[in-house]
Amino acid sequence: MNKKQQRYRIVNLDRDGLPSHIEIPAPKFEHDWTNYPSSNADEVISRAKGADILVVNKVSVNAAILEACPTVKHVAVCATGYNIIDIAACESRGISVSNIPSYAATTVSEHVIASALVLRREINRYRQAVINGKWQNSPAFCLFDKPFLNLRGATMGLIGLGEIGEATAKHAKALGMTVLFSSRSQRSHDFAKQVDLDQLLSQSDVVSIHCSLNETSKGLIGERQLALLPRHAILINTARGGIVDEQAVVDAIHNESIAGIAFDVLEQEPPIENSPLLSISHQPHVLITPHISWASEQAMQYLANTLTRNIEEFAAGAPTNLVTTS
């Protein structure tokens, strides 16, 4: 029996990584598909045993799991990031791994721009003023008690310029912003100027983080880096929580050394009760959202469609969107 005729057993270890109304299309080959809403670490091996293809979103797949589940031939990550997978262990066993690039550029970049507008224009503060009745008691036709700023003419600084960073840069440029970026590799773009990180921080009105989380970037933005920001600057993070020292950010907000933050990611998710950033989430110049910048309806359906296409192409012997250690 050749590969195309084989009946594959597919196990999705955390189907709830996507909302139930987002349909994952069925692969167009013979298969049995089992969904688990979520899987704890001690449940993974028993559920994965006998599977040919594992689908994961946030469930880790390490060497011990692969050793205990020798039938696994492919791991399909239902996300862009694949740090949850031991790629070296997969490669040593001839197991391919696919991810889903290119699905979140529009949705995340729009979230960044929306966050910048909310904070620069003090929308939270003025909305609350209406709720509290301050406008209703104003002697004038408008209520104006806090200055706010345009995005046009301001400088957007991007830490990392992958696909999402580039989409954000183009949105910012279209709004009349000057765009700076820092990157580990030398790059040239007509819509953005490359500078080093310290220059970017000191010269930007809005800083948005778009680098991946790794040993180099963990804790990249700490007390020293925050001190470089102008007092009117805002910091936006839609990348990964561990890139930023959260307590240092809380201190900067308390000290009013930066004007505001918009974080869609925290170091621990879901956050613990005494999460530093949650302690300031009620403030009007602090915008904390629950890791949803990636999750527009269009982006999630594209992700689901691509997941199935990755699986079909693996089964056809021509896998794409592969990730490796190199």
Residues with catalytic function: 240, 269, 291
Give the C-alpha separation, 274 to 122, whole Å: 27
Longest dimension (CA), the chain: 83
Give the C-alpha separation, 292 to 163, whole Å: 18
Inter-axis angle of helices 123-131 and 105-120, nearest 10:
60
Residues 78/36, Cβ–Cβ less than 8 Å: no
Strand-pairing partners, residue 8, are: 31
Sort residue 319 into left (φ over 0), alpha (ψ -120 to 50) or beta.
beta
Strand-pairing partners, residue 11, are: 34, 54
CA atoms within 13 A on the CB side of 189: 22
Amino acid at the residue 219: G
Please, which residues have CB within 8 angstroms of residue 303's CB and are 6 or more apart in sequence? 18, 78, 79, 100, 103
Sheet holding 8-12, edge to edge: 31-35, 8-12, 53-56, 74-77, 96-98
Give the C-alpha separation, 316 to 309, whole Å: 10
